[in-house]
Structure 1
Amino acid sequence: MPSANFERSIRVGAPAEVCWPVLIDVDKVAGWVSLISGVVELEHLSSYEAVLADRFGMFNLKADLSVKVVELEEGRRIRFHAEGQDRHVNTHISVEAELRLDPTEDGTLIHVSGEYKVLGTVATMGASTIQKKAEMILAEFFGAAERSLTTL
């Protein structure tokens, strides 16, 4: 079962109170990651649905995800759990993640950390292939976050 912890941070010049509304705009943030689509807000800052779709070798993965906010510290931190599966490819995905904003003298440190697990057919592609996809997702997220938050 490929699983891994992830952690990454960036500094932006905007203050935390300016960054927070952008980072909890789920439609905007979902647009920052090319593998995510079909986001539906069931309850604001509580419950969402989304689709994670990608190609892994000869497999086309399309996992329906249920996303639940498990902890919220308004303006500072949000923890969530996402879980779903693609029944056609027999693959289960789960993610535990936290986004935290730490004010600095010259802006904000945005920190994302967590763990993902992949079970089933796609997991047979190997941990390194899955890790590359996870790194790509983080790179897309932080690249878009930096571009969006630098212009504020």
Structure 2
Amino acid sequence: MQFANSFEVSLPPEQAWPVLMDVTSVVPCMPGAELTEVIDDRHFKGKVSVRLGPVALSFNCTAAFEDVDDTAHRARIVSRGTDAKGRGGANATIALSLSPSAKGSRVDVQTDLAMSGAVAQYGRGSGVIQSVATQIISQFSKNLEARIEQLRGAGALDAPGSTQAAAVAPVHAASTPPAAPAPVQAKPISGFALLWASFRATAKGWFGAR
């Protein structure tokens, strides 16, 4: 199944891109996500916890940046996850792109998701998955903006167009300057919030079909 999400951040693309590509700084902003190992600057391991309807799932995941264009501000990430209880898996290809906006930058996320085993039944219906994804992305964007404010307050962001910002290419595992404060791990979205999101998606399908 395929779906799209977008949000904005209060930084121009040349500043926002290094922040987004700093995996060790950004993953803590994602509800339910945990970075467990940095293999190299493009390969990572982690855990993702999410609730689909009444079922809580926990995936052991690997993620790889298969294509990164720092000039065009585009990246493709491939992630593979296996449910910790052996109920199936989920594979995703995520296309990430950045463009200027009135606020600063617009982040577009295109996701191609395939689920297998019992977990595919829990997430049956693209409306439910899209609703849960939207809830997670919404919280992620808020956490990311808080992280940006944290970096801004610490003076850890280069001025747009500065020689330093233009000369330093992002290092995907640790692009944040040494003086940057440590990120705060995001709290998982409550089960109630995800259940409500799933219910709204299901109800929309019921009434939309009539």
TM-score with structure 2 setting the length: 0.61
Distance 2:114 2:130 in 1: 10
Deviations 1:34-66 (A, max 9, x none): 21113321111x111111123445644221111
Instruction: State the AA in 1 paired with 2:130.
Output: Q
Determine which structure has the larger strand proportion and give its number.
1
Match for residue 69 of structure 1?
65
- How far off its partner does 1:74 sit? 1.5
Q: Which runs of 5+ in 1 are unaligned?
A: none
For 1:100, which of 97, 100, 112 is the aligned residue? 97
Percent identity between matched residues is 22
- How far off its partner does 1:139 sit? 1.5
For 1:121, which of 118, 122, 134 is the aligned residue? 118
Question: Counterpart of 1:17 in 2: which secondary structure?
Answer: helix
Distance 1:111 1:150 in 2: 21
Question: Counterpart of 2:29 in 1: which secondary structure?
Answer: coil
Match for residue 131 of structure 1?
130
Determine which structure has the larger helix proportion and give its number.
2
For 1:80, which of 68, 77, 82 is the aligned residue? 77
Instruction: State the AA in 2 paired with 1:12.
Output: V
CA contact (8 A) 2:91 2:113 kept: yes
CA contact (8 A) 2:10 2:104 kept: yes
How do residues 44-59 of structure 1 correspond to structure 2 at under 5 angstroms? 44=41, 46-56=42-52, 59=55
* Residue correspondences, number: 148
Confirm whether residue 7 of structure 1 aligns to residue 26 of structure 2. Answer: no
For the aligned residue pairs, the C-alpha RMSD in angstroms reads 2.4
- Identify which range, 7-16 or 92-101, moves more after superposition: 7-16
How do residues 19-58 of structure 1 correspond to structure 2 at under 5 angstroms? 19-44=16-41, 46-56=42-52
TM-score with structure 1 setting the length: 0.81
Larger radius of gyration: 2
